[in-house]
C-alpha cells in the first residue's frame, strides 16, 4: 500500500538484519549471537509464578535491572537507563542529543543502524571515512561540533579504539556529547564506563545480546551522567514508558549478577577467535585484529560474494556486505569450536580447485 506512505517514510534506508532461517539447518555465524545458553540463574529467575504475572505491566523504571547494572559498574542507579536492546538506547540518544542545529558524526564503515536513525529523525550527518587500514582516528572528529557516535569495538571490523583516544575526544569539547557503543566490548575491549564519573558528555551503551547470551530477550542499557540519563528518559517516556517486558527485566538482572558465567563464556569466545584467526590465515585469508565476538576477513583467491554464496550452499551462514570498500570482506561470528571447525572445513572444500 505504498500510496499511503509518507514522503519521509519513503525516503528511509532501513537497517538490514542478518538472515534468520527458521529451519536451523545452517551453522549460523552471521548475526554475532552467543553459542551459549543464558546463565542458569536466568532460567531460575523465570519461574511459573513470574509467567503468571504477564497480565500486569512491567516496571517502567526497570528498577531491578537498573540496580543490577549500577552495582556491576559501580555507578549510581540515576546514571543507568535500560532499554529494549541497545538499539533502543541508541535511538533515544539520536532523538535526545541530535536535531535542529546539532548534527551527528559517525564512520563510513560502522554499525549501519546509525545511518538508519539519521534518516528516521531527519538529521544532518557527517560521515567520516575510516583510514585505509580500517582504523578509526579520533583526530578526524576533533573539530566536529555536534554529537559523535563511535562503535568500540567497531562493527563490522572488530577493531578497537584506545580509551585514551576517546578521552582526548571528550576533553577537546566538553559541550558535545560522545556516544560510545560498546556492544562488543566484553570480548577483549576496554570499557569507557568508568569515565562517565568524570565526563558529563559521555554516554556508554551496551547490550545483553552478545556476552550475556540474551539476544532474544532484547535488553540493553546506557551509562552516563545523571543529566544525560534524564534526557534519555524524557525521550523514553514520550515514546514507550513500558519499554522492557517483565521477563526480560528478570532475565537481565539475573544475567548481570552471574559474573562467573559471563567471564567463562567470554573467555571461550576469545580463545575460539584466536584459533579461528590462525586457521583462516593458514588458508590464505587476511584477518583484521578483532576485539569482538567476530572476525572480519577476506580471501586472497575468491571475492567476498563468492565465499558467502559458497559457504551458504555448504550449510554455513556468514555476513557479506555488498557495499563499497567491503565487497571482498566477510564478517564471521565466533561460535563454538565445533562450529568454527566446520567453517574452516567448508572453506577448505570451497577453495579446492580454485
- Identify the CATH number of the domain in which residue 320 sits: 3.90.1150.10
**61 in a domain, yes or no?**
yes
Range of the domain at 87: 55-258
- Identify the CATH number of the domain in which residue 254 sits: 3.40.640.10
The pLDDT score that the predictor gives to residue 22 is: 67
What average pLDDT does the chain have? Answer: 95
* Residue 99 and residue 221 in one domain: yes
pTM for this entry: 0.95
* Residue 16 and residue 141 in one domain: no
Average pLDDT over residues 84-92: 98
The pLDDT score that the predictor gives to residue 19 is: 73
Quick one: three-class SS letters along 186-230? HHCCCCCHHHHHCCCCEEEEEECCCCCCCHHHCCEEEEECHHHHH
Cβ pair 237, 293 in contact under 8 A: no
Radius of gyration of the chain (CA): 20
* Residue 148 and residue 278 in one domain: no
Number of residues that this document lists for the chain? 354
Residue 46 burial (CB count, 10 A) = 16
pLDDT digits (tens, 9 = 90+) for 266-307: 999 999 999 999 999 999 999 999 999 999 999 999 999 999
Q: Which helix (H) or strand (E) holds 306?
A: helix 304-313
Amino acid at each position: 500500500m505504498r500510496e499511503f506512505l509518507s514522503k519521509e517514510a519513503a525516503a528511509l534506508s532501513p537497517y538490514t538484519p542478518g538472515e534468520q532461517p527458521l529451519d536451523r539447518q545452517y551453522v549460523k555465524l552471521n548475526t554475532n549471537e552467543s553459542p551459549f545458553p543464558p546463565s542458569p540463574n536466568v532460567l531460575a529467575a523465570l519461574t511459573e509464578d513470574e509467567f503468571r504475572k504477564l497480565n500486569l505491566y512491567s516496571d517502567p523504571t526497570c528498577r531491578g535491572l537498573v540496580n543490577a547494572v549500577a552495582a556491576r559498574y559501580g555507578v549510581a542507579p540515576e546514571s543507568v537507563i535500560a532499554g529494549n536492546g541497545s538499539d533502543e538506547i541508541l535511538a533515544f540518544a539520536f532523538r535526545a542529543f541530535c536535531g535542529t542545529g546539532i548534527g551527528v558524526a559517525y564512520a563510513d564503515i560502522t554499525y549501519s543502524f546509525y545511518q538508519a536513525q539519521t534518516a528516521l529523525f531527519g538529521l544532518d550527518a557527517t560521515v567520516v571515512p575510516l583510514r585505509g587500514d580500517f582504523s578509526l582516528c579520533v583526530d578526524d572528529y576533533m573539530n566536529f561540533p555536534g554529537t559523535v557516535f563511535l562503535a568500540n569495538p567497531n562493527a563490522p571490523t572488530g577493531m578497537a579504539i584506545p580509551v585514551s583516544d576517546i578521552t582526548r575526544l571528550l576533553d577537546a569539547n566538553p559541550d558535545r556529547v560522545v556516544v560510545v557503543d560498546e556492544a562488543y566490548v566484553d570480548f577483549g575491549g576496554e570499557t569507557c564506563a568508568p569515565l562517565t564519573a568524570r565526563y558529563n558528555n559521555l554516554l556508554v551503551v551496551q547490550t545483553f545480546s552478545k556476552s550475556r547470551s540474551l539476544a532474544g530477550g532484547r535488553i540493553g542499557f546506557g551509562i552516563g551522567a545523571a543529566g544525560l540519563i534524564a534526557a534519555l528518559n524524557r525521550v523514553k517516556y514520550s515514546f514507550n514508558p513500558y519499554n522492557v517486558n517483565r521477563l526480560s527485566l528478570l532475565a537481565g538482572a539475573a544475567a548481570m549478577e552471574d559474573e562467573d558465567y559471563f567471564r567463562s563464556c567470554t573467555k571461550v569466545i576469545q580463545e575460539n577467535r584466536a584459533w579461528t584467526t590462525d586457521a583462516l590465515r593458514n588458508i590464505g585469508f587476511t584477518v583484521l585484529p578483532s576485539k569482538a565476538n567476530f572476525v572480519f576477513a577476506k580471501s586472497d583467491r575468491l571475492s567476498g560474494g563468492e565465499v558467502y554464496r559458497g559457504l551458504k550452499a555448504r550449510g554455513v551462514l556468514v555476513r557479506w556486505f555488498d557495499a563499497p570498500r567491503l565487497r571482498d570482506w566477510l564478517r564471521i561470528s565466533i561460535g563454538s569450536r565445533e562450529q568454527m571447525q566446520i567453517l574452516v572445513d567448508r572453506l577448505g572444500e570451497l577453495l579446492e580447485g580454485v
